[in-house]
Amino acid sequence: MNVAEEAGMALAHVWETMVVLAEAGNDMVVDQQRLAPANGAGEIAKIAADLSALSRAAEVLAKLRDRT
């Protein structure tokens, strides 16, 4: 297996993780809006930070995957 193939496989896992986090974040936003607990915004910020890091990783992996 070459680097491009491995990057493509890793990219798929990163995207799956991003989808799970985004769905969790969406659920949390809806719940937080309704309940407005003190730590709600902080938890949402943590998810957003994780998504930001994962999106950068996805960008790098996509570039590696697309190299020929």
Res 34: pLDDT: 74
* H-state helical runs in the chain: 3-35, 40-66
The pLDDT of residue 9 is above 80: yes
- CB-based burial label for 14 (10 Å; 0-12, 13-18, 19+): buried
The whole-angstrom separation of Cα 59 and Cα 63 is 6
Segment 14-68, tens digit of pLDDT: 999 999 999 998 988 888 777 767 778 888 899 999 999 999 999 999 999 998 6
Res 40: pLDDT: 81
Beta carbons of 3 and 67 less than 8 angstroms apart: yes
Higher pLDDT residue, 1 or 10?
A: 10
Model confidence, pTM = 0.81
